[in-house]
Amino acid sequence: MRLVFMGTPDFAVPALVSLHDAGHEIVCVYTQPPRPAGRGKALRPSPVQVEAERRGLPVRSPVRVRRDVAEHEAFANLNADAAVVAAYGLLLPKAMLDAPKLGCLNIHASLLPRWRGASPIHAAVLAGDARSGVSIMRMDEGLDTGDVLAEAAVDLSADETAQSLHDRLGPLGAALITQVLSGPLPEAKPQPEEGATYAPKLTRETGHIDWTRDAHTIERQVRGLTPWPGTFTTLEGDVLKIGGVSLVSGAHDASPGTVLDDALLVACGEDALRLERLQRPGRAMMDRATFLHGATLPKGARLGE
C-alpha cells in the first residue's frame, strides 16, 4: 500500500518500522522540525526523522500545515492510499484529512472514547485505570472523535508508570496498524459519547505535589508523570524532584508534608508515602539509601513550604 507516515516521538517509531518492514511503500514521512536540545542547544532531529533517514525515506518537516495551501497541495500530490498518524503533533486540516484515498488513520494511545487528547498515557496512570490500550481511528476534524477501526487492550500493573505504559503501547500500536493495513480495512464504528473523557494538557506545574491530597493520589501522580514532566516538592525553598514513592497505610496526626521518621516517610492528607527516589538541585536522581548516605531529611522537616 502507498502510505504517508506522520509522527514525531519515540512512540511513533515502532509503527514506521513495522509498516516499512511489512513492505508498504512509504512515499513520505512527515515529522516535527528539529528542536534545540542539550546544553549546547544544538538542533536535534526527531526520533522518527532519524529512523526515516536511516531507511532512506523522504522526510518533510513543515513548521505548520493548517493554513499552508502549498503544503496541502504537496500532500495531495503524494497520491497516497492512506496516511498513518502517530503522535505527529500538528493538527491536520480537512484538505489533508481528505486527500488519501482511505483517509488518515491515527494510532491513539487509549481505548477511545476514554482519554481523547494529547496525553492519554499519562491520564490513564494518573486516574488509576485498570486497562488501557491503543485505538486505530479514521481521523476527522474533531479532537480524536473519528470512527474506530480496531482496538487492542492491556492491563495496567500496580506499579505502571507513564514510561512503562508508553513502552508497551508503542509496539502494540505498531502491530495493530500493520494488521489493519494487511487487507481490506475493518468496518469503522462511531465512538459512543458515553464514557468520553479528555486528557488534560500537561505542564511542569502538573508535577507539583500537594501533600494535602491522599497518598494513593500522589503515588499515581508520581507514576503518571514519570519521566515527564516529573513530580517535585520544595524543601526550604529548593526544588526536590521525586522519582519514586511507596505507599504506607496508617493514621497519623502530623501536618501534610511533614517527615515522619529518619527514612523519608512523609505525611499526606491521608496515609503516608516513603520517598524511594529523589533528586536534590545539581545532583542526579538517586535511590533512598544513596540519598541518605550523603544528606539528611530529619523527622519533623516540612516539605512543600
Residues 219-278 have pLDDT tens digits of: 999 999 999 999 999 998 899 999 999 999 998 999 999 999 999 999 999 999 999 999
For residue 1, which of 98, 80, 97, 100 has the smallest C-alpha distance?
80
Instruction: State which fold the 2-180 domain adopts.
Output: Rossmann fold (3.40.50)
Q: Is the pLDDT of residue 294 over 90?
A: no
Dihedral of the alpha carbons of 116, 118, 120, 125, in degrees to the nearest 10:
-140
Residue extent(s) of CATH 3.40.50.170 domains in the chain = 2-180
Residue of 180, 203, 206, 13 lying closest to 102 (CA atoms): 180
Tell whether 78 is in a known binding site: no
CB 199 within 8 A of CB 116: yes
Mean pLDDT of 204-228: 97
**Mean residue pLDDT across the chain:** 96
Q: What is the percent of the chain with per-residue pLDDT over 70, rounded to a whole number?
A: 100
What pTM did the predictor assign? 0.95
CA 112 vs. chain centroid, Å, equals 15
Burial class (CB within 10 angstroms; exposed 0-12, middle 13-18, buried 19+) of 284 = exposed
- Evaluate the omega torsion of the peptide bond into residue 229 and state whether it is cis, within 30 degrees of 0: yes
Whether residue 111 is annotated as binding a ligand: the answer is yes
Please give the pLDDT value at position 295.
80
State the average pLDDT over residues 53-79. 96
Q: Is the pLDDT of residue 32 over 90?
A: yes
Residue ranges of the chain assigned to CATH 3.10.25.10: 204-294
204-294: what fold?
Methionyl-tRNA Fmet Formyltransferase; Chain A, domain 2 (3.10.25)
**229 carries a ligand binding annotation:** no
19 is in an annotated binding site: no
